[in-house]
Structure 1
Amino acid sequence: MAITKVKSLKGEITVPGDKSISHRGVMFGAISEGTTELTGFLDGADCRSTIDCFKAMGIDISQEADHVIIHGKGLHGLSAPKEMLDVGNSGTTTRLISGILAGQSFISSLNGDASIQKRPMGRIITPLTQMGAHIRSIKDNGCAPLEIGGAPLKAIHYDSPVASAQVKSCVLLAGLYADGVTSVTEPVVSRNHTELMLSGFGADIKSEGLTASIVGGPKLVGQKIAVPGDISSAAYFIVAGLICPNSDLLIKNVNTNPTRAGIIKIAQDMGGNIELLNERIVSGEPVADIHVTTSDLHGCEVSGEIIPALIDEIPVIAVMAACASGTTVIKDAAELKVKESDRIATVTENLKAMGCDITPTEDGMIINGGKPLHGTTVNTHLDHRIAMSFAIAALIAEGETTFDNEECCSISYPTFFETLNQIINK
């Protein structure tokens, strides 16, 4: 795969279904009574890992492309898996399913790929242990493989040291199996898909300020869910439309939930021509069509409470900053170090290789934008968001950009390069 500089980008596109909602739809459907139907499901490797885990616990799930039907068995309907559950590359699967497994009467174990075996699981081991769960890191290093379950749970109030939807969701899902009210308070509000969706399935769940609470033992009932497009996937094309010359893009049917859509605000703060059209609510989530055109961008500060709403988009925001005049400072984002790769290091490495003036910091990076970029061989570190972000950088770089591994995009966006080719005008 080689990408060269483009003359413009034009057209209308759609992006795959929201990854967070696709994962949760399968999980919540599996522990609900009756049938759950998902349309617009993200048929990527991570979400297939979630399906496979619940199939291994006796749930009947059928899938045809982006249409998934889950025949739920209720809160206590899962069966002990015969083998270790394989979560693949998916941190969402790992952390959310752990909350569900903690409330089961059986002991199970889970593991994933080399990346998952390095990602920190102490952040869920601590609260689940406080709830009385049996959960341990089998290698005693705070990472997968994990052994979980087989203990009655008690409700707790947990003050999470990190703003993480995965940690919050894990504790709330365990709270389904506890007597009383389980609550989680975060330092900053993280994405709220779990709260919105579980409420739709019939849980007694509420959010007040920084705290989300759930009442144990509800009867969850299967739902029909239309999954909107994933803003994390749309982000690449938002940035592409802003930085490439003579461009005009419409990205249709995108989830614009404000706990996820921080990139829209940052793009506007940098002077981006970006507007939301046809705003509506679909299956409880705000959705819009996003229109972007070529823009004269300037640097800004990306920090504080907005970070959880754009943490997965920081690699492509860094690319946008490299194309903007002036300095962009990204901080309060130390969480980048424990993603699929250390994204502070991998973004810095690859932007430097393209000629950008970028300095890594402990919790982010400083980017002096406006220098022309040139092609390179991108070292993806098998990280899908690094691969896609630098595919966008390649569109405005002189010469040719190649990748050591573009297949990793299939984790979240299997058709990424097909979509990109639809809109390129060379």
Structure 2
Amino acid sequence: MLAKINPKPLSGTVPAISSKSMAHRIIIAAALANGVTRVACDTTCADIDATIRCLTAIGAKIDPIEGGFEIHPVLKSLEHGILRALAGATLDCGESGSTLRFMLPVACALGADATFVGSPRLGERPIAPLTDELMAAGCTFQGATGLPLRITGRMRAGRFELPGNVSSQYISGLLLAAPLLDGDTQIAVTGEIESRPYIGLTLAVLNAFGVKVGIEEGATPGGLPLTVFTIERQGYRTPGAIAVEGDWSNAAFWLSAGALGRHSVTVRGVTPSSIQGDRAISAALMLFGAKGQRSARAATVRPDNIHGIELDVRDIPDLVPALAAVAACAEGTTRFTGCSRLRIKECDRLEAIATELGKLGANVCVDGDALVIEGREQLDGGRVSSRNDHRIAMMAAIAAVRCASPVEIEGAEAVDKSYPLFFEHYRLLGGDVELIDE
């Protein structure tokens, strides 16, 4: 699908969608709990659907209800704690890295005999540090590098060790699996943990389902930071009902449009007290010089004289595409550091940001693990590719606000991965977009 956007400032109010990051974790926890859980989740997307599909494949019953889901747990399908009845299940993760990295250790903890499949790009994304730890704990993997990947055997409790500079999703996956094991488990992470707010999100969901996690901060004999998560053998306990928060990660694009336009943009349904790390978008935009306001259930950004900044994005990699669109039109130079994780997203997102913004006339270069952008008052416009990456497509749509001529986005359907309503909401804010099937 081609999205053709005629440049116009965006303004007004748009509703937040449900947080994809939180929905993954809550739906998995509910499927592992000791009873039925009602999950309030106003919207879904391809990635959330992938997690639901995988949980259904191993025995959970997930029924759509008004405003969310009713989830009947997979544990009712267990025989002596092992998923024997569903041998040969296929778990289709689609394009969702979160689904694969969370469900792989969970399926191993349940002793599932299952095959993981997914898109070609998902098969290229690294999981070796996680599979190495799972094999050491008694699991067997059959298949070439990548997907499909067949798993057998049941994961043993014990000590798991990971470096802090790997995907935080490996750590979250082990945390989600640990309460299912026959014994106490330690997850030791050496070095500074990148994207740590996402681990905090996992811990918050575990706590909501009655799982207690001990955290000890220390150092290795060599002086590196050492974080040890300890999870005793315990079960998930349903809270009965739980709500998914509004999504800060995708709200970031609308708030960034507010910084670039002529009038304010408000996202309704996000909370400043959220446990999502990407709530940092408000503070980041204010660093650029935009004006912001937050209430208990909304965030607003309005334009002002925006200027370049230097920002370490190791903990907020998903905000970089939205912030890059702002930087492209800010006075002076912006330097985003700590961008290495962007190379292993849905595409090489670091290179894609530089190339696709460059096609619109932005001055962007990659300097090691940094992204350097020299701002312009106005971009040119032109034709770009989404790279089949939802955040690249949305970045281009927001950058169009400050372009002199129309912007065409090839593969615009990539937004369905996290935000199927994106272009509908774009129009809601006054945007002029035509969607053309190709």
| TM-score of the aligned structures, taking structure 2 as reference length | 0.88
Aligned to 1:13: 14
Aligned equivalent of 1:346 = 352
Following the alignment from structure 2 to structure 1, what is the Cα–Cα distance between the partners of residues 336 and 389? 20
Distance in structure 2 (CA, Å) of the matches to 1:369 and 1:51: 42
- Aligned residue among 183, 187, 192 for 1:183: 187
Determine helix, strand or coil for the equivalent of 1:100: helix
**Which amino acid is the alignment partner of residue 205 of structure 1?**
V
User: Residue 202 of structure 1: CA displacement?
Assistant: 1.2
Distance (Å, rounded) in 1 between the aligned partners of 2:422 and 2:368: 31
Aligned to 1:282: none
For 2:64, the equivalent position in structure 1 comes to 63
Inter-partner Cα distance in structure 2 for 1:77 and 1:378: 49
Which of structure 1's runs of 4+ aligned residues deviate more than 6 A?
Answer: none
Q: Which 10-residue stretch deviates more, 177-186 or 409-418?
A: 177-186
Code of the aligned partner of 2:37: T
What's the counterpart of residue 133 of structure 1?
138
- Structure 2 counterpart of 1:270, one-letter code: F
The answer on whether the counterparts of 1:103 and 1:133 sit within 8 Å (CA) in structure 2 is: no
2:128 pairs with 122, 126, 130, which one? 122
**What secondary structure sits across from 1:367 in the alignment?**
strand
| SS across alignment from 2:120 | coil
> Which residue of structure 1 aligns with residue 258 of structure 2?
241
1:155 counterpart = 2:158: yes
- What residue in structure 2 maps to residue 250 of structure 1? 266
Say which of 221, 225, 233 aligns to 2:237. Answer: 221
Determine the C-alpha separation between the residues in 2 that align with 1:66 and 1:361.
45
User: Measured at CA, do residues 99 and 425 of structure 1 come closer, stay the same or move farther in structure 2, by a change above 3 Å?
Assistant: closer
Q: Name the residue aligned to 1:72.
A: 73
Preserved contact between residue 29 and residue 35 of structure 1 (Cα < 8 Å): yes
Query: Where do 1:2-41 residues align within 5 Å?
Result: 2-6=4-8, 8-41=9-42
Are residues 408 and 152 of structure 1, via their aligned partners in 2, closer, same or farther at CA, if it must alter by over 3 Å?
closer
Aligned to 2:221: none
State the secondary structure of the residue aligned to 2:353.
Answer: helix
Q: Specify the alignment match of 1:283 in structure 2.
A: none
1:408 aligns with 2:411: no
Instruction: Point out where structure 1 has 5 or more consecutive residues left out of the alignment.
Output: 279-287
* 2:241 paired with 1:196: no
The letter of the residue matching 2:259 is L
Q: 1:344 to 1:67 in 2, by over 3 A?
A: same
Residues 140 and 153 in structure 2, CA contact (< 8 A), matched pair in contact too: no
1:367 aligns with 2:367: no
Farther off after superposition, 370-379 or 331-340? 370-379
Contact 1:111 1:144 in 2 (8 A): yes
Which secondary structure state, in structure 2, belongs to the residue aligned with residue 20 of structure 1? helix
Are 1:99 and 1:171, in contact at CA under 8 Å, matched by a contact in 2?
yes
Q: Deviations over 1:198-255 (max 9, x none)?
A: 111111213455736242431212231111111111010010001112x112211225
Mapped contact 2:282–2:292 kept (Cα < 8 A): yes
Structure 2: unaligned runs, 5 residues or longer: 218-225, 433-438
1:296 pairs with 2:314 = no
Residue 274 of structure 1 corresponds to 292
Q: What amino acid sits opposite 2:7 in the alignment?
A: K
Partner residue, 1:285: none
User: Contact 2:51/2:93 (CA < 8 Å) preserved in 1?
Assistant: yes
Q: Does 1:307 align with 2:314?
A: yes
Report the AA paired with residue 253 of structure 1.
G
How many angstroms does 1:123 deviate by? 2.6
Letter in 1 for 2:123: Q
Give the match for residue 104 of structure 1. 110
CA deviation vs aligned residue, 1:389-417 (integer Å, no higher than 9, x gap)? 11000121111111111111111000001
Query: Contact between 1:133 and 1:149, CA under 8 Å: does it hold in 2?
Result: no
Residue 12 to residue 37, structure 1, CA distance change in 2 (3 Å): same
Deviations 1:354-381 (A, max 9, x none): 1111111231311011252011111111
Give the structure-1-normalised TM-score.
Answer: 0.90
Question: 1:200 and 1:425 mapped to 2: Cα distance?
Answer: 39
Give the CA deviation at 1:267. Answer: 1.3
Q: Distance in 2 between matches of 1:425 and 1:313?
A: 21
Q: Secondary structure at the match of 1:69?
A: strand
Q: Which letter maps to 1:413?
A: Y
- Hey, what's the Cα distance between the residues in 1 that align with 2:303 and 2:104? 44
Deviation, 1:137, is 6.3
Q: Give the direction of change, closer, same or farther, for the CA distance of 1:206–1:262 in structure 2 (3 Å limit).
A: farther
* 1:159 shift after superposition: 3.7
Q: Distance in 2 between matches of 1:39 and 1:174?
A: 23
Which amino acid in structure 2 is aligned with residue 166 of structure 1? Q
User: Are the structure 2 counterparts of residues 10 and 155 from structure 1 closer, same or farther at C-alpha, using a change threshold of 3 Å?
Assistant: same
Asked if 1 retains the 8 angstrom alpha-carbon contact of 2:172 and 2:202, the reply is yes
Question: C-alpha distance in 1, partners of 2:140/2:399?
Answer: 42
SS in 1 for 2:5: strand
When the two chains are superposed, the root-mean-square deviation of aligned CA atoms in Å is 2.1
SS at match of 2:402: coil
Give the distance between the partners of 1:419 and 1:345, measured in 2 at CA.
Answer: 27
Q: CA deviation at 1:261?
A: 2.5
Count of aligned residue pairs for this structure pair: 409
Matched to 2:148, the amino acid is P
Q: Higher mean Cα deviation, 71-80 or 100-109?
A: 71-80
Shift in Å, 1:172: 1.4
Percent identity, aligned pairs only, is: 26
What is the distance in 2 between the residues matched to 1:208 and 1:242?
A: 40
* Counterpart contact for 2:11–2:261, Cα < 8 Å: no
Deviates more, 1:152-161 or 1:47-56: 152-161
Q: Residue 163 of structure 1: CA displacement?
A: 5.4
Between the aligned partners of 1:325 and 1:126, the Cα distance in structure 2 is: 47
Contact 2:138 2:155 survives alignment (8 Å): yes
Cα distance change of structure 1 residues 40 and 129 upon mapping to structure 2, 3 Å threshold: same
Q: Deviations over 1:27-80 (max 9, x none)?
A: 111111111111125410110111111111121110146411101143847552
Are the counterparts in 2 of residues 18 and 41 from structure 1 also a CA contact under 8 Å?
Answer: no
Note the alpha carbon deviations across 1:244-293, whole angstroms, 9 max, x for none: 12x11221122532633332222121112122211xxxxxxxxx411111
